[in-house]
Amino acid sequence: MAKQNIFDNQIFFDGYKKIRENQASANIVFEMPALYSLLPDLSGKHILDLGCGFGEHCMDYIKKGAERIVGIDISEKMLEIAKTENSDPKITYLLMPMEDIDSIDEKFDIVISSLAIHYVEDFKGVLAKIHNLLNDGGIFVFSQEHPFSTCHSGGDRWTRDENGNKLHLNLKNYGVEKETESVWFVDNVKRYHRMFSTIVNDLIDAGFEIERMIEPIPDDEILAKYPDHKDLFHKPDFLLVKAGKR
């Protein structure tokens, strides 16, 4: 079955690139610091980056001492930028969906995925392949859209007061695990909703041990700079997990 590749849609690609360049975006303010906080010392490490996008993370890992990086992505447009702007002799970029990583013939100390797992339908299958690619004692660190977000498939996400201020989240069908479609720059952007318990239990069943989980929320300093982020106390944007290979 063909995998969704929304990132090569030019309208989507342009909109997504603009968001990632915004220094006030939730990715930069919350997701990246949380992701990096879960990483061990990268000195000499071999890393697989699943959904490497523009390759900025791969370059960061090299700067942090990593010895070898393989970055995969399903988007040709993303990889064109990665190879042009974030190339290094220690980095290899591959055009490949996550579901095909069992074709990679090497082992890694760390597998990392930033905001890509929620686009994968066969979560169990991909976890098994990640486990097989890790060296003994290796770790898997990933971020994804928060399950309170992935369950949303239509209507207003928030209940608001007469001035438009967010009062609380409208949560429905959290327990219905399925493919959902949303409008994000373009119509019919597919993602997959899984409950917290499913995410945790699938990791355990695949042979992982949960070491840490983060749902980033703003501190006082961030709130002073970006007051609109107070809505994250109702619903964090992201879930991040660090899991070790048993």
- Domains of the chain in start order, with CATH, are 97-148+168-245 (3.40.50.150)
Q: Tokens 């042009």 belong to which residue?
A: 84
Instruction: State pTM to two decimals.
Output: 0.90
pLDDT of residue 21: 57
pLDDT at 7: 54
For 194-209, b/e burial (b = at least 16 CB within 10 A) is beeeebbebbeebbbe
Average the pLDDT over 137-152 and give the result: 96
> Which pLDDT belongs to residue 170?
94
Q: Find how far residue 125's CA is from the centre of its chain.
A: 17
Q: Is pLDDT above 50 for 63?
A: yes
The pLDDT, as a whole number, for residue 187 is 43
The pLDDT, as a whole number, for residue 180 is 84
Q: What is the pLDDT of residues 182-219, one digit of tens each?
A: 544 334 568 899 999 999 999 999 999 999 999 999 99
Q: How confident is the model at residue 15 (pLDDT cuts 50, 70, 90)?
A: low
